[in-house]
A = this chain, B = another copy of it.
Amino acid sequence: MLNIGLLGCGRIGAVHAASIRRQAQARVAAVADAVPAAAEALAESAGATVMDSDALINSPDVDAVVIGTPTDTHFDLIHGAAAAGKAIFCEKPIDMSADRIRDCSRAVQAARVPFMTAFNRRFDPSFANLQARLAAGEIGQTEIVTILSRDPSPPPLQYIKSSGGIFRDMMIHDLDMARFLLGEEPIQVFAVGSALVDADIGAAGDVDTAAVTLTTASGKICQISNSRRATYGYDQRIEVHGSGGMLRAANVHENTVEAATGSGFQTAPAKHFFLERYERAYAREMAHFIDAVSHGTQPSPGIEDGLRAQVLADAATLSWQEGVPVQVT
């Protein structure tokens, strides 16, 4: 039985607690949150003990920690948990600064603790299936990756002001997906962006509509486009063109009903909210972490993947600001 300590009892903490409950070989042993009521509510439903975060990290009753606290607290928690020898599951982004992620990486490597970066989309059944078939050579060599990703609606302006911008808080998922699918590191990033959804987002120094082009050393190309708003649900599509064919993953719809009338044939909107769209991805992600830690293997994606996605997001931000392609090493 793997005893897990949950750091952060907000929305994403609750998601992870539910995922842990589905696994027979793990349980939520302890929870911590800056808001006592949040910790207590989750503790009660999970049958866990409330602790403060330091105590939790160092508790002998905790084998692994799940970090779902605000980004600026990750650095200290990672260092603390690594020092205490706990396995670590950390929400993305690991940190706003690539250098500080490198620092965390050194601490994790020195402590030889398992570390997993929570890029949940890699565990979506369709995206995972696509990637596995790609890796198995089903369509030969990868040539062009296309990622279309649109959120249903923008987050609160307050969130945007401290999020690091669209490339770091939203597109970072797509940048990780690009790495996952390209099978090769991007060496150049070119980004454009506009505030078309909400002028206030532009006034806050960010964009809500963005497009990036990545290229790799061998000439593979990836195009990503993002919008902070889609009226028809949470639009999440990926497509890989290869030497032997094409693989793509379509949207997940609310149901399979089709209505035919004089206006044509209509199917349901895409699932609207990330929690329902990626429900199975969250469950499979946590299952993988628990399984890896239980078997003493390294979970994936690791801290290096968290770092590289952040480096790409930084490069995209710079490219957008400067108007030129940015090289990544």
Contacts and interface: CB of A to CB of B under 8 A. Distances in A.
Interface of A: 125-126, 129-130, 133, 138-139, 141, 143-144, 146, 148, 150, 188, 190, 192, 194-197, 209-211, 213, 215, 218-221, 223, 225, 227, 229-232, 235, 239, 241, 243-270, 323-325
B232 A262 contact: yes
Assembly of this chain: how many copies?
4
B196 A213 contact: no
A194 B220 contact: yes
Contacts of A195: 219
A258 B248 contact: yes
A269 B264 contact: yes
A249 B257 contact: yes
Contact of A225 (B146, B192, B210, B267): B146
B209 A211 contact: no
Contacts of A232: 245-246, 260-262, 264-265
Nearest to A232: B260
B256 A244 contact: no
A190 B262 contact: no
Contacts of A211: 144, 213, 221, 223
Contacts of A227: 143-144, 241
